[in-house]
Structure 1
Amino acid sequence: MMRNRSEAVEVSSKTSDPIDADALIRTSQMVAGNFDLMDSGLADRVTRFVAWLNEQPSLRAEQKTAVEQQLRKLLATRLRLSADRRRIPAIADEKVERPIFVIGFARTGTTLIHSLLAEDPAARAPLWWHTHAPSPPPGEVAVTAQRIEQTAKDLDEMLALAPGLLTLHPYWDQRGHCPIECEEIFTLDFQNAYPTLLYKLPALAMILDASNIADAYRFHREFLQHLQWNQSPGHWVVKGIYHQFALDALFEAYPDALCIWPHRDPVQVHPSTLAITSVLYGGITDWQMDFKALGPAFMQSIAASVSEAMESPLIDDPRIFHVDFHALTRDPVDVIRRAYGHWGMDYSGAFESRMQAWLADPANASNRYGRYDYALEPFGLTREAIENAFEGYCRRFRLGKFA
């Protein structure tokens, strides 16, 4: 599993008391209007989450207030989801069939693949507003433009906090309708800390606890049930940069899941990943980060996780379709076409036409907010260090000098 990378962030000296988990729970219950839906598992996760946060470099008083507000909103949302599920028992009967998971490391084309797969008329994908305002279920009451706009304001605030993000990830310009990563779903259940829901929290993301991984994926499935209840049929297309480290749990929760996994030379992936990580967390922490320390710590964390993942026999499972990044950039539609053939899924002409139209639309151009020149030196890394750390992975998938 991916290691906790929070130690790479340095924030100013202590000026506030630790966050009180019990007070956070009580006030969140008041916000949600639910006082009897805090099950012991959720309460334990909130308590552990707050304990982890209190172990990070201490917050300034104004930071603590902002972080508590986001945590309170998050927990109130989670409580409302429980209330919805109790009020509408049919949600639990929803069948999530043959979901497609886009897995793999950040900056390997996962968002491109996700966006194209979502063009299938038979598909549906989780969007920003889904995780920021999921209650009441969209199948219960009409979702208004105002409801979606309220969530878009959160995204506007995050982008204002970290200028430059749109150059690195232009898809956020879709605001409330932008595609999201599955890590957000886990954050809703206090299983991790993902910045798009907790962008005021000045610490690198807390990674899923391996001992609780089955519960995390169980909630993931419940969340998709919540969104699809009483809606038009369609298979889910989701993506996340963690799933390849938890294939056992993924396939336990979704035995009929299908995965598409793009692979790119880590020497190219790391400067790109570190750039977006640094711009985002630089803004969140008021640029109180040691970037030279961030690079090696990040590389070692990913390398250790990749080493574990390479030992899983599920890597060769036929439910997983592996993709070379260069093949993806040359002809992304052909990659999707071949993936559908591999999975035995219906591939329609309408789907292909929609993908071609999406790719031709200037509004979807990857450089619509400019280009970013990536470098390793600012992060204390060298090509040789990365090649050595990921030699086994590169040999396995014929990347870099092994291509």
Structure 2
Amino acid sequence: MLKTTRAEFDALTPVGQALARPEVPESLTAANERLRDTAEARWPFEPQRLLEAAREATGLDDFGDDYFREALDQLCASIQNELDLSPVGRRNLHGQILDHLVQRLRFVDLWKRQPEILDEPIEAPIIIVGLPRSGTTFLQQLLAADERLRPIPFWENLAPLPAHDPAIRPPEDAPLIAQAEANVEGLRRTAPGLLALHQLGAEDPEEEIYLLGPAFATTVYEWVYMVPGFASWFAKADHRAGYRFFRQVLQTLQWMRGGRRRFLLKAPQHMEQLVPLLEAFPDAVIVETVRDPLTAASSLANLCCYGQRLRTERPDPLAAGVASEAIVSRLVQSYIRDRDLPFVDARFVTVPFADLMREPVALAERVLTAAGLDLTDETRAEMQRYLDANEGKERAPVDYGPADFGIDIPRLRDRFQGYYARFGLSPDPKFAA
């Protein structure tokens, strides 16, 4: 997927070879052929042209604070210089960036017309921060059984604002839900294994990396497309303004759709943005799920490499391994750096993965108690219903490992020593060097 890297096919493991030369649906092949001659001209990654396209699409021209412009410039340069996109991948990535710019224009316009939105209280959200494959999705969906909590469903992450004027309440959300259902169905046709690797439903809770998109304070581009230049810039940048914008987005969702329930959020990217996160939400309850980070590195590499078939015609497992090592290392090292800073009002709850799998309701109750909530009989029954339904779901077999992506186990073990020590973790024996 990167222009500068090409894994030698014969040197890959059998799993790596299957990922590097995947079987793809004929419809995807045909779409790439149909768009091949026009894709570059139709979907350029030029900041000024993207900004102008967003203005033309909305009739609006105020993007608000221009801090996001550096992120847009860096992202476009990284895409142009580093990515080997297929025509379909180019179209989809261009559309995603444009959509985030359109959303930004519409949010800023709404706030100017309805300034009371920014007075909406966001009180003590529960925010799950943990590595991929450490139980974050499971715990979020378990806690979502409590009707006092308000997760962000996938459809609202993708399209938080209705097609009509969002000042008109209540919004018409049915088309947005249908759009997300079509999105999931499209993935089911073109990359069915992706849904086995990452559970996704239009109305299921989903991590808010898409909602951070209009602020350009999101890792969604880095995690999905692998853009090392942008990733390097992102890791060093100050994202406090982006997280303030994200808080305003949540205020808008609450104002539009009502309820004033406590937000239940979740995203691994928050591990390296703990300071911006807690500046935006100083009274948050932070739920930290902990597990051997090598599980996260392998899982993220597999998910990223599998998804590359939708974005490039030359997936590269080794490049996915390099990117995943870098991402997980950043998350771990940043979290250890910031975890014990004096956040006055925040509360932290540690949830070991093994304990969560063994006693999920007890762990959920621990989280609710830390948030000042009791576990009601109704919520306990809903949680049990979720567990019973989840028990029967088919799960994708884990038939990959670090070696399939060139991940160096001893090197990562050394990088993660501080994390193991901080949370009393023992390295998972299945990742023997």
Q: 1:295 aligns with which of 318, 321, 343?
A: 321
Residue 175 of structure 2: aligned partner: 146
Structure 1 residue 67 corresponds to structure 2 residue 93: yes
Deviations, residues 348-383 of structure 1 (Å, cap 9, x unaligned): 22221111111112xx34842543323222111354
Q: 2:362 aligns with which of 318, 321, 334?
A: 334
CA gap 1:367/1:382 in 2 versus in 1, 3 angstroms: farther
Check conservation: 2:117, 2:252, Cα contact below 8 A.
yes
Residue 103 of structure 1: aligned partner: 129
Residue 379 of structure 1: aligned partner: 405
Please identify, of 298-307 and 331-340, the stretch whose mean Cα deviation from structure 2 is larger.
298-307
Superposed displacement of residue 190, structure 1 = 2.3
Deviations, residues 71-113 of structure 1 (Å, cap 9, x unaligned): 3233212211222222222211100000000001111000011
Check conservation: 1:102, 1:259, Cα contact below 8 A.
yes
Where does structure 1 lack aligned partners over 5 or more consecutive residues? none
Q: How does 1:4-403 map to 2 (within 5 A)?
A: 16=40, 19-37=45-63, 39-57=65-83, 59=85, 63-136=89-162, 137=166, 140-170=169-199, 172=200, 174=201, 176-192=202-218, 194=220, 203=227, 206-207=230-231, 208=234, 210-229=236-255, 231-286=258-313, 288-314=314-340, 319-361=347-389, 364-365=390-391, 367-401=393-427
Q: How many residues in Structure 1 have an aligned counterpart in Structure 2?
A: 391
Residue 29 of structure 2: aligned partner: none
Q: Residue 124 of structure 1: SS of its match in structure 2?
A: strand
Superposed displacement of residue 228, structure 1 = 0.4
CA distance in 1 between partners of 2:226 and 2:337 (Å)? 34
CA distance in 2 between partners of 1:61 and 1:188 (Å)? 24
Superposed displacement of residue 162, structure 1 = 3.0
Deviations, residues 48-79 of structure 1 (Å, cap 9, x unaligned): 43233223235466654443333323321221
Residue 11 of structure 2: aligned partner: none
Please identify, of 344-353 and 121-130, the stretch whose mean Cα deviation from structure 2 is larger.
344-353
CA RMSD for the aligned pairs? Answer: 3.3
Please identify, of 84-93 and 293-302, the stretch whose mean Cα deviation from structure 2 is larger.
293-302
CA gap 1:328/1:359 in 2 versus in 1, 3 angstroms: same
CA distance in 2 between partners of 1:237 and 1:7 (Å)? 39
Where does structure 2 lack aligned partners over 5 or more consecutive residues? 8-35
Q: Residue 222 of structure 1: SS of its match in structure 2?
A: helix
Superposed displacement of residue 238, structure 1 = 0.4
Q: In structure 1, what residue type is equivalent to 2:366? A: R
Check conservation: 1:10, 1:57, Cα contact below 8 A.
no
CA distance in 2 between partners of 1:303 and 1:215 (Å)? 24
Superposed displacement of residue 268, structure 1 = 2.9
Query: Sequence identity, in percent?
Result: 26
Q: Residue 359 of structure 1: SS of its match in structure 2?
A: helix
TM-score normalised by L of structure 1: 0.85
Superposed displacement of residue 259, structure 1 = 0.8
TM-score normalised by L of structure 2: 0.79
Superposed displacement of residue 204, structure 1 = 7.2
Q: Residue 369 of structure 2: SS of its match in structure 1?
A: helix
Residue 33 of structure 2: aligned partner: none
Q: In structure 2, what residue type is equivalent to 1:26? A: E
